[in-house]
Amino acid sequence: MTETPERPRLHRICRLEGARPRIDPRRAGSAGEAEEIATGHPRRDPRAERAHRLRAEMRVPEPIPDRPRLNPRVDLGQRLRRELREADAPETATAVRAAPRHRIIGEPTFWVAAVSLPFEPWPGAEAESLGLARRLAGDAGGVVLIRLGARAGARDAGALGADRLVQTTDTSLAALSTSLSAFPARHILFAEGFADGDLARRLAVRMGERPAAGVLAIESGRVILRGDGGCSDLSRALPRLLVLARNRFDPWEGLPGEGRGIAAPDPVITDAPDDLPLIETITLPAVDVPLAQADFILSAGEGVTDWPVFHHLAAVLGAAEGGSRQVCDAGHLPRARQVGASGTLVEARAYLAFGISGAPQHLQGVQRCRLIVAVNTDLHAAMVKRADLAIIADAQEVMPALARLMGDKA
């Protein structure tokens, strides 16, 4: 075997220079091998030596401590026992559960009051009033809900955002004034309904204040409300008394308030004529509900010719009657029932338009309705385009069919 030419050359060069050889691992098989070649001594390998030592030690292996295996049942038992201990020592438990579950207000800088009566003017009216009250109160203020009169199925006041709750069986203005005297309020909120709105206005007279009625929004510290007979929106400085329009404000969905019940003070009865107690609430037949307050409207235009069936359908559906200007001009419906720019601007949840073309003046009156159903023979009528649901058919055929669907036997 002949030697590889590199190794003798490396050896020779080192000898000639008389110095410790520089090792080139690329040329030698490994660094250790190259050094061995250069020096003629076997090279020590500390790593190999340490590994050897360890192997020797491992002949008598040290006991490795067993890691306890997790047992979910045992863990659950421990957790339950800990929770029971915490329940026995409530102070410790409170300290551990630091997160607050509702907002607790001691003595706020000011109060905002929401007033409600036994019958809500619309479902969720009290929640909407409290939602706005909570926002007006902000961090510094407190919200008090004054519930006048017993109400079945009332919601938890705290969850609706109230910090305090005054509940009375008395619905009179005297009871309201006395309750308010315990909570001098920066703002007092009512929902715009028959009884609530009436109470708000009587309170305004008693306090000598000008309320904002039909409040649509609060923007930059000003109140936006319907004015000019409902034809335009007005803006004015935020007053103390606010009467809210329906479905305009979101209920409170943030951290619940404490909703702490406060005993209602005894009302101070005076001889003032505005201390009128609410004795009875009479429910109007749906057809007699004023258009501006109606939630469900059956409306007729020139396409309706069978008027007895129209009136009958309104009674079966429990809807208020409305109509276009044409039919009011023709005397089929009273002027108070005209829907549109020169009639009433309606805000119904459902508006059924039978045989109405959808002229701009009429559409202006229904723009705040939630759901519009049009019945028309003309597929291209503006009312059909505006509607959420359209039935292209003769109104005279759809009306009795709809009554039958509602279970009408006549």
Ligand X SMILES: Cc1cc2nc3c(=O)[nH]c(=O)nc-3n(C[C@H](O)[C@H](O)[C@H](O)COP(=O)(O)OP(=O)(O)OC[C@H]3O[C@@H](n4cnc5c(N)ncnc54)[C@H](O)[C@@H]3O)c2cc1C
Pick 100 or 360: Cβ nearer ligand X: 360
Pick 80 or 330: Cβ nearer ligand X: 330
Tokens read off for 126: 């009290």
CB of 233: closest distance to ligand X in angstroms? 18
- Segments in 302-354 forming alpha helices (H): 307-317, 325-329
**Between vectors from CA 244 to CA 240 and to CA 247, what angle results, nearest 5°?**
155
CB of 319: closest distance to ligand X in angstroms? 17
CB of 396: closest distance to ligand X in angstroms? 6
CB of 262: closest distance to ligand X in angstroms? 49
CB of 162: closest distance to ligand X in angstroms? 42
Pick 213 or 391: Cβ nearer ligand X: 391
According to DSSP, the β-strands at 232-237 and 222-227 are antiparallel
Pick 109 or 377: Cβ nearer ligand X: 377
Dihedral-angle region of residue 149 (phi above 0 means left; psi in -120 to 50 means alpha; beta otherwise) = left
CB of 348: closest distance to ligand X in angstroms? 15
Pick 168 or 324: Cβ nearer ligand X: 324
Tell me the β-bridge partners of 187: 112
Within 10 Å of residue 284's Cβ, how many Cβ atoms? 11
For residues 166 and 145, what is the distance between their CA atoms, to the nearest angstrom? 6
For residues 219 and 210, what is the distance between their CA atoms, to the nearest angstrom? 19
CB of 139: closest distance to ligand X in angstroms? 46
Pick 157 or 395: Cβ nearer ligand X: 395
- Segments in 208-343 forming alpha helices (H): 307-317, 325-329
- Contact between 340 and 361 under an 8 Å Cβ cutoff? The reply is yes
Q: Which residues bind ligand X (CB under 6 A)?
A: 301-303, 324-327, 338-343, 355-357, 359, 361-362, 365, 375-378, 381, 394-396
For residue 178, the SS3 value is helix
> Rounded to the nearest 10 degrees, what angle do helices 173-182 and 194-207 cross at?
60
Which residue's Cβ lies closest to ligand X?
340
Pick 121 or 301: Cβ nearer ligand X: 301
For residue 377, the SS3 value is coil
| DSSP annotation of 228 | G
